[in-house]
Structure 1
Amino acid sequence: MAGSAQEARRMAPEFPLGRDGASVRQRVEAVEKLLERSFTLPGTNQPVGLDAIIGLVPVAGDAVGALMGLYLVWEARNLGMSKWQMTRMLGNVGLDTVIGAIPFVGLVGDFLFRSNSRNLKIVRKHLDKHHPGSRVIEG
């Protein structure tokens, strides 16, 4: 049994715990992918994440989605991002939560308004400017 646990740890992706720009970038990108683009809906080629799935649960799903979205805002605060950037990010999470709370409309809103993707874009822009060593060339 101990061998299989060690093997599972080796196969699991590394989740960086550092406070440097590169570690923060990897964490926020991983959380955004989990919340917005975990898998693709069959037949639609539309990426869907945990945020849309838990949004199906009335009230509690939207609250949990908001809390998970606030993780990106917390990381932004730890980076020392400006109050304006933080306000924009909080507004994105708030708007996503309000739209998600509307029955049926909220389901469509989760596909059209991806607050976590918007917030990732804000964090990436800050990291590119203030922590250029954390940039990743995407192909």
Structure 2
Amino acid sequence: MKQLFLLFFFLFSIAVISQSNTLVIQKLNSNFTKEIKENKRIKVWTKDGQKLYGRFTIKDSISIIIEEKVILLEDIIKMKKKSLFGTIANPIFIVYGSFAIIAGVVTVGTGGWGAIIGGSFIIGGVPLVLIPSISNNHPSDKWEYSIKIR
């Protein structure tokens, strides 16, 4: 029984110690940091004009691998964390927001109560278009990228 307990304790210790590596993104003008675990979806723009999207793995302390291509952290211009939900939902929000803005502009032209209703469509549609477009961006001039190897 004692040997079984020691075996269980040893296996549990290995599982706790072997946590995944993380990509650390720190905002330059504050101490705010984000950690992105390995094998999460990200979109990366590089200095040579490439735009890569997919799950990333950490190669070493200065580079990551996306789509079987090695990318140095210093070559990244902008990084965006992309969840599966965001990949599916963001285009839907942008389309509905665009329709709301168009309906609002058309309705505002009718005057009277139409102007009030159309204004509310426009006010509701603008965030649906803007937030998915600008959220989760981490440009290298405002953020610093590093890798935490555990």
TM-score bin, normalised by smaller chain: under 0.3
TM-score (norm 2): 0.25
Of Structure 1 and Structure 2, which has the larger fraction of its residues in helix? Answer: 1
The structure having more radius of gyration, on CA atoms, is: 2
